Structure 1
Amino acid sequence: MSNRIKIGEIKPKGWLETELKENMSGCIGHLDELLPELLVDHDIYGDDRLKGGDKLRKLGRNDNAAPEMQEENKEQFYWWNSESQSNWRDGYVRSAIMLEDQTYIKQTKAYLEKIFSTQENGYLGIYDEKLRFRCTGENGELWAQSSLFRGLLACYEGFQDESILDRICMAADCIMKGYPQEQSHPFDVHEPFAGVGHGLTIVDSFEWLYEITENRAYLEYAVWLYEEYSAYMQSECDIQIPNIRQPFYIFKGHAVHTFEHIRALIIAALEKEEYQILLDQLMQKLPYYLTPSGAPIGDEWIAGRTADATWTGYEFCTLQEMLHTYERMAVKTGDVVWNERIEWLYFNAAEGMKHPTDSSIMYLKTDNCYTADGYKNPDDKKQDWNPRYKYSPTHQDAAVCCVPNSGRITPYYIQSLLHIVEDGYLAAGYGPYVYQGSYDHVPVRIEQTTSYPLDLHTIFYIKTAKPVRFSLHLRLPGWAKQMTVNGKVYENTGAICREIVLDQEWKDEQIEINFEADIRFRTDFQHRTYLTCGPLLYCLELPAKEEVTKEMWVPGFTEKEYHPLNRTLEELAIAREDWPEFKVVSDKAAHRWGELRITGIFTDGQEKKQIDMVPMARTILRKITFLQKR
C-alpha cells in the first residue's frame, strides 16, 4: 500500500508541461467561452438550483438529439450541466495548480469564492431546499456533489488552505445528515437511472476526506453507500455485490458507470476481507473488456461483449474513469502492474483520441479507425449517423462530458507518476516532472528529466536539505527486456512488472536509467496480431480527406470529419515469416509522436509491401490489428 503525492507537490516539466499548456490555451481553457449557456449562464449550484417543475434549460447536448427532453418536468436530464461544469473545473483547477499560472489561479480562486457563496447550512449542490435529499426519481443529487467535490479537494491540496477543507467537510457532513447512515436508503428510488448511478462516485470524496482527516466516519459512510447501492434495483448493476459474487457474470451496463463503480469496491475491500476476494475476481475479468490500446468498451453499453479493435468504440469519459480506477488500485495495493496499465492507457488510447494539431477530441473512437465522419466504420452507413464519431472541441450535439474529461486525464496521470511508500518513494511512472516535499522532516526534491516514452532513457536528480536515508523504488516495466540503473543491468526474462529498490543515504544524487525493448507481436481476443515496442502501440496511419463541418463562434476552433482515401490498406495482413524484417527506425523531423517508427513487411494477399508504422498517439485514421498469413 502506498500514498498519493499531493497535487501541489508535483509539477510537470518537458512535454507533459507542454501538454497541460496546450489544453489550457485550447478548448479546456476556453470551454466557458465556447459554451457560456452551459458553463456560465446556468448557475445550477446557486441561483438556478432545481426546484421541481423547472423550465428545461439548454443542456450539454443538442435539444434536437432527444425529443423526449422537451417534455415538461423531465427531471432526469436536469443535472447534466452540473456534470459538465464540475468535471471541467476539476481538470481546470488541477492544471492551474500544476502549472502555477497566476492567471488561471486567480480565476480558480474566484470560482472557489463563488461556489462557497452558495453554501447553505453546509449544503453544496443543485437542489432547492424542498427537493434536497428528497428526490425519489432519477436525479443528480450525489453525482453533482461528487463531481464538484473532486475539484474542491484538489484546490485544498494545491493551496493548503484549511478554510477550503472546512467548507468541504461541512458539505460532506450535510450529506451524511441528509442521508443518515443505517436510517435512510439513498438509492431506493423509482427511476434508478444515470444520475443516480453516477452518484455512487461520491465515495471517492469520502475516502479522500478520510485520508486527509483520518476521520473513520467518512470511510465507514463510503462503504455503507456501496452496500446500499447493491441492495436495490439499479439500471447500472455490474458492480453490485450479488452480481460480482457470480463467477460467470458478464458486464452489460453503461461502461463509464461500470468502470467508475469499481472504485467503490476498492474502498469496501479496504474494510472487509470478503470484498477483497470479490475485487480480485473482478479485476481478473478486466482484460476481456479492453482493446489492444487498453481502452475499455465504452460505446456506450458493454452489452456482454468482448472488446474488438474494429467494432468496439470507447469514449473519453470511460478512459478517464478507468485511469482513475487504476490509480486507486495502484495506491491501495502498492502493485506497480496498475501503474503499467495507467501508462499504457494514457500513451495509447487517450493520446489516440486527441487531434494531432487542433484542440479537439473524438467523443467515441475505435482502435482500428477507418473513418471519422459520424460512423463507426465506413461499412456502417446503414446505421444512424452518430455525432460522437468526429472531432470537436465541445461535442455539444452529443453531450458535454468527454471534452471536460479530456482536461482531467493529464493532471491525473501526472499525479500517478510518484507515490509515497513506507520506506521512501516509488517511481511508479516515467515522465518529466519535479516533486518537492519532505521525508522524515527533511525537504526532498526529485526531478525527472526525459522525453519518455519516445526515448527510453531518463535521469532522476535527487536533492535533500541534508543527508537522509530512504528507499527509491523504480518500476521495472513488464515490456522491458532489461533495465540499466547507473550501469547495473537488471534482466527481465519473465516479462513481469516489478520493482528495483535503491536503499541509501541521499543528498545530491543522479540516477540514470535506460530501458531496452524489443518489437513484440501480440494477439488480441479476436485472434488478430498487433505490434508494440516499449510502452507504445503502433499502427498504420491511413490517408484521409479532411472536411471542416463547423466553425465555432470562438475563433480558432472547428469541428472536423475525416473520410478514407485508400480502403485497400484496411485489408493488409502480416506473414509470420516476415516478422524478422520489422525494425525500429527514427524520424526526428516528424511530429513528436511520429519520431519513432517501425518499418516492416505487409501483404495484401498478392504482393508484399514495406510500410512504416507510427505510435497510435495523435493518429486520425489508422489500422492497428492484422490478420496473420501463414
Structure 2
Amino acid sequence: MNQIFKIIILSLITLSCTEKNNISKKLNISTVQFGDIQPDGWMKAQMENDVTNGFVSALDSLAPELVVEDDIYGKDRMTKEVKSKDVGAITDDNGEWEVQFLWWNSETQSNWWDGYIRNAILTKDQNALNKVKTYVDTKLKTQDEDGYLGVYAQDLRYKHTTENGELWAQSSLLRGLLAYYEYSKEERVLNAIEKAVQLTMKSYSINNSEPFNIEKPFAGVGHGLTFVDVLNRLYELTNNESYIDYAVFLYQDYDKYNLSEVDIQTKNLLNPEYKFKGHGVHTYEHLRALTMVAKYTKDSIYKNALEKYLERLEKVTTPSGGPIGDEWIFERTADADNTGYEYCSIHELLDSYSLLLKRTNDSKWADKMEWLLFNAAQGARNPDGKSIAYCKTDNSYFMQGAFEIENIGKNNHNRFKYSPVHKEVAACCVPNAGRIFPYYVNSMWAKNNDGLVLNLFGASEFNTTINEHKLKILQKTNYPFDFKIDLEIDIESPENFQIAIRKPKWATFYTCSSSADKSENEHYLYLNKTWKTGDVITIQFEAEPKVNLDLLGDYFFSYGPLVFGLPIESKEVVQKIYPYKDFKDLEYHSNASKGTKWKIVDPTKIKLKTNENEPLWNHFKMETTFINSKNETELKELKPMGNLILRQVTFPKLENNEN
C-alpha cells in the first residue's frame, strides 16, 4: 500500500514539474493592439487619400448638421421633451415612426469617427491625429460623474420601454475610443471606457434586468446587441471575465423576446424551415454575439445554432462575397442580378469573419475576409475615392438611384448611386466604408502560445514584442496583384518561436524560402527557428484562372482572391455638387443598349493576361469570347471587379441550340 502511495506521489510530482516546464516555455506575448500593424503599399496610399481628400475625411463638413451641430452625447442628449431631430433621412411619415430614429445621429457620428480615428492612426496623418485628439478630449468631457457616456438624459437612460439606441450609441462610441486607447496607451481613456461599461452592467444587471424586453423595438434595439464588441475587446485587453459573462447575458436576453430582428435567435436558427429575412446589417453584425456565446458557454445549443447560421450564410452571399442587404434579406437566395448588398452589411460581415477567425483558428474566415474586401467592398467604392455606393449588385448594369430602371426618379430614397454622404437615405454606409480597411489591417497578424500567425496578406509593418523583446516584421508585397510575399525580421534579441502562414484556399501550389524547420497542415505552413535580425521568409503562391459556378448555375471567374467582371462603358452624370472641395453625388448611365447581357461561349477557354507595367488594378486581365442578346460575338477582356463601376460578373453559358 505504501509503495502504491509513493508511486502516486511521484507521478503527481512529475506531472506538476512537467506542467511548470510547459508553462515556463510559453512565450511572453501580448494581445495585438490597434496600431501595431501599419499598412503600406497600395492600401496605405488609398487610406491616405481617404483621410485627406476622400470620403473618409469629409462627412463632418458635408453634413455638419448630423455630425457636428447635434451634440447628442453632450448638451443635446435626448429627454422625454425631444420629439423631433434632423437625422438626415427623408421620410413620408410623421409622429411615432420618426421618433424611433432620434438616436440615428449617434450612429452616424460615432461610426464615422471610429473609421476616421483608425485611418488617422494607420496613416500617421498628423492633422488627422490632432483632430482625433480634440474629439477624444471632447467626448470624455461629456462623461457624467457616475460614468455615463451616452445619448440620454437622466429621465430616459436605462428606463426604456420602447425603441431606443441606449446600448447602440454606447457601443458605436466606445469602439472608436478603444482604438484610440490601444494606439495612445492613455490610461484615462481606458478608465473612462471601463467606468461607462461598468455602469451599464450595473444598470442592466445580469439576471435582474431585461434590456431587450421592449415594446415596438426597431433598429436601435437590434443594433444594441453589438455592445458585445466592446465587451469582447475589453476582455482581450484586461482578461476580466465579467465582460464575457455580460456578453453572454446580453445574447441570452436578446434570444428571449419577439423583436424586430430575429435571424440570430436560436429558435429560428434551429428551425430547418427558417430562412434569413431581417435587415441585413443586423443579421451580419449579430453573428459576433452568437460566435462569442458559442465559444464561452458549454451549452451545445449555441454551437449548433452557429453551425446552422453559417450554413444559411452561404445562401445569401453573392460571387463577390457581398451579403444580401438592400436593405432586407426577405428569405431570398443570393443573385448577382437581383440581390444588392449595403455597404454597412459588407463591413459588419467582414468584422464578424474576423471574430470567427480569432475564435475558431480556421483559416477559411481569412479567405472570406480578403475575398469580401477586394471584390464586394472595393467594388462598391468609386475608384476616385470620393464616394461609395450605398447599395450595389455584382452585376451592375446602371447606377441611377433606384434598383429597377422603371423606378428611377420616382422617389428620393436612391440607394444605387455614388455619394460621399447618402443623407437622403441615411448617413450610415459612408461611415462604415471608412471602417473596413482599418479593421482588415488590424486582423493581418495574430498571436498564440507558439508565436505569431500571419492570416491576411498585404504590404505592412508589424511591431510587437516577444518575451519583452521588440520585434518588427515587414511584409513586402503587391498582394493581391502579386502572390509573392517577403517577410523581413528585425528583432531586438534572437528568440525561438513559430511563425504560421496561412495557405490560401485558392493557391494551387507554393514555395517557401526559409532556413526554419517547416511543417504544415491543410490551413497553415509552420516555420520554427530562433529568429534573428536579417532573417527573411519568401513565399510564392501560385494560382490558376478559375471557373466558378454561382448559386444559380451561372459562371464567374477568379484569379487568386480577385473576381473578374466585364466592364460596361458608362456616362457619368453629376446629380449634386457639394459646397466643399470636389465632392459630388454621381450616377452612371450605361452606354450599352438596354437589355444587353453577354453569355459566355466556352467557359473553359479563358486566357489570363498579365502586364506589370499597368496600374495595379490592371495587372491581371482575362480574355474569352462572349455573345450578346443580339447574337453578336466578340472577344472581350475581363478585369478585377474591385475597380469597375458598371460591370457584368456572372455569365450564363451559351447553349448549343442558341448558336
Q: What TM-score range do you get, normalising by the shorter chain?
A: over 0.9
Could you say which residue in structure 2 is the equivalent of 1:151? 176
Contact 1:583 1:599 survives alignment (8 Å): yes
TM, length-normalised to structure 2: 0.91
Distance in 2 of aligned mates of 1:460 and 1:538: 28
Distance in 2 of aligned mates of 1:569 and 1:136: 51
Residue 580 of structure 2 corresponds to residue 560 of structure 1: no
Distance in 2 of aligned mates of 1:527 and 1:354: 27
Percent identity of paired positions between Structure 1 and Structure 2: 40
Written as runs of structure 1 = structure 2, the 5 A alignment for 1:513-532 is 513-532=539-558
Could you say which residue in structure 2 is the equivalent of 1:320? 347
Could you say which residue in structure 2 is the equivalent of 1:35? 63
Could you say which residue in structure 2 is the equivalent of 1:295? 322
**Over residues 496-547 of structure 1, what are the superposed CA-to-partner deviations in whole Å (9 max), with x where a residue is unaligned?**
9611111111002111111111111111111110001111000000011111
Cα offset, 1:570, TM superposition: 3.7
Distance in 2 of aligned mates of 1:412 and 1:3: 19
Could you say which residue in structure 1 is the equivalent of 2:375? 348
Cα offset, 1:280, TM superposition: 2.1
Could you say which residue in structure 2 is the equivalent of 1:492? none
Cα offset, 1:245, TM superposition: 2.1
Could you say which residue in structure 1 is the equivalent of 2:77? 49
Cα offset, 1:258, TM superposition: 0.5
Residue 570 of structure 2 corresponds to residue 512 of structure 1: no
Written as runs of structure 1 = structure 2, the 5 A alignment for 1:171-320 is 171-273=196-298, 274=300, 275-320=302-347
Distance in 2 of aligned mates of 1:229 and 1:610: 54
Distance in 2 of aligned mates of 1:586 and 1:270: 44
**Change over 3 Å in CA distance of 1:72–1:186 after alignment to 2:** closer
Please say which of residues 3-12 and 319-328 is displaced more in the overlay: 3-12
Contact 1:54 1:73 survives alignment (8 Å): no
* Among candidates 482, 496, 501, match of residue 474 of structure 1: 501
Contact 1:369 1:377 survives alignment (8 Å): no
RMSD, matched Cα:
2.2
Contact 1:475 1:497 survives alignment (8 Å): no
Q: What SS is found at the alignment partner of 1:166?
A: helix
Residue 163 of structure 2 corresponds to residue 138 of structure 1: yes
Distance in 2 of aligned mates of 1:310 and 1:505: 53
* Among candidates 357, 369, 380, match of residue 330 of structure 1: 357
Could you say which residue in structure 1 is the equivalent of 2:648? 623
Cα offset, 1:377, TM superposition: 4.3
Residue 153 of structure 2 corresponds to residue 125 of structure 1: no
Q: What SS is found at the alignment partner of 1:346?
A: helix
**Over residues 141-167 of structure 1, what are the superposed CA-to-partner deviations in whole Å (9 max), with x where a residue is unaligned?**
110001011001111111111111111
Q: What SS is found at the alignment partner of 2:531?
A: strand
Contact 2:32 2:445 survives alignment (8 Å): yes
Written as runs of structure 1 = structure 2, the 5 A alignment for 1:72-87 is 74-87=98-111
**Change over 3 Å in CA distance of 1:213–1:530 after alignment to 2:** same
AA partner of residue 213 (structure 1): T
Could you say which residue in structure 2 is the equivalent of 1:161? 186
**Change over 3 Å in CA distance of 1:379–1:528 after alignment to 2:** farther
* Among candidates 609, 622, 625, match of residue 585 of structure 1: 609
Could you say which residue in structure 1 is the equivalent of 2:21? none
Distance in 1 of aligned mates of 2:406 and 2:452: 51
Q: What SS is found at the alignment partner of 2:604?
A: helix
Distance in 1 of aligned mates of 2:408 and 2:112: 33
Written as runs of structure 1 = structure 2, the 5 A alignment for 1:392-541 is 392-486=419-513, 498-508=523-533, 509-541=535-567
Could you say which residue in structure 2 is the equivalent of 1:493? none
AA partner of residue 86 (structure 1): S
Q: What SS is found at the alignment partner of 2:243?
A: helix
**Over residues 294-351 of structure 1, what are the superposed CA-to-partner deviations in whole Å (9 max), with x where a residue is unaligned?**
0110001111110000000001000000000000000111111100100000000000
Contact 1:253 1:301 survives alignment (8 Å): yes
- Structure whose CA Rg is larger: 2
Contact 1:137 1:192 survives alignment (8 Å): yes
Contact 1:193 1:235 survives alignment (8 Å): yes
Q: What SS is found at the alignment partner of 1:617?
A: helix
Distance in 2 of aligned mates of 1:265 and 1:293: 24
AA partner of residue 465 (structure 1): E
Could you say which residue in structure 1 is the equivalent of 2:40? 13
AA partner of residue 76 (structure 1): Q
Contact 2:514 2:536 survives alignment (8 Å): no
Please say which of residues 515-524 and 584-593 is displaced more in the overlay: 584-593
Distance in 1 of aligned mates of 2:549 and 2:81: 54
Cα offset, 1:114, TM superposition: 0.7
Cα offset, 1:440, TM superposition: 2.0
Distance in 1 of aligned mates of 2:31 and 2:651: 40
Q: What SS is found at the alignment partner of 1:597?
A: strand
**Over residues 29-49 of structure 1, what are the superposed CA-to-partner deviations in whole Å (9 max), with x where a residue is unaligned?**
121111111111100000000
* Structure 2 unaligned regions, length at least 5: 1-28, 516-520
Cα offset, 1:23, TM superposition: 1.1
* Structure 1 unaligned regions, length at least 5: 489-495
Cα offset, 1:384, TM superposition: 5.3
Q: What SS is found at the alignment partner of 2:278?
A: coil
Cα offset, 1:590, TM superposition: 4.3
Could you say which residue in structure 2 is the equivalent of 1:109? 133
Distance in 2 of aligned mates of 1:623 and 1:193: 36
AA partner of residue 524 (structure 1): D
Distance in 2 of aligned mates of 1:624 and 1:72: 43
* Among candidates 102, 116, 119, match of residue 92 of structure 1: 116
Q: What SS is found at the alignment partner of 2:589?
A: strand
Cα offset, 1:607, TM superposition: 4.8
Please say which of residues 410-419 and 373-382 is displaced more in the overlay: 373-382
Q: How many residues align?
A: 621
Cα offset, 1:132, TM superposition: 0.6
Could you say which residue in structure 1 is the equivalent of 2:395? 368
AA partner of residue 499 (structure 1): Y
AA partner of residue 556 (structure 2): Y
Cα offset, 1:385, TM superposition: 6.3
Cα offset, 1:67, TM superposition: 2.6
Residue 601 of structure 2 corresponds to residue 575 of structure 1: yes
Distance in 2 of aligned mates of 1:487 and 1:115: 49
Q: What SS is found at the alignment partner of 1:611?
A: strand
**Change over 3 Å in CA distance of 1:225–1:214 after alignment to 2:** same
AA partner of residue 507 (structure 1): K
Could you say which residue in structure 2 is the equivalent of 1:551? 577
**Change over 3 Å in CA distance of 1:540–1:15 after alignment to 2:** same
Q: What SS is found at the alignment partner of 1:545?
A: strand
**Change over 3 Å in CA distance of 1:15–1:534 after alignment to 2:** same
Cα offset, 1:5, TM superposition: 2.2
Distance in 2 of aligned mates of 1:321 and 1:49: 27
Distance in 2 of aligned mates of 1:385 and 1:628: 37
Distance in 1 of aligned mates of 2:594 and 2:208: 63
Distance in 2 of aligned mates of 1:462 and 1:202: 38
AA partner of residue 114 (structure 2): D
Cα offset, 1:487, TM superposition: 8.0
Q: What SS is found at the alignment partner of 2:551?
A: coil
AA partner of residue 584 (structure 2): T
**Change over 3 Å in CA distance of 1:487–1:221 after alignment to 2:** closer
TM, length-normalised to structure 1: 0.95
AA partner of residue 549 (structure 1): Q
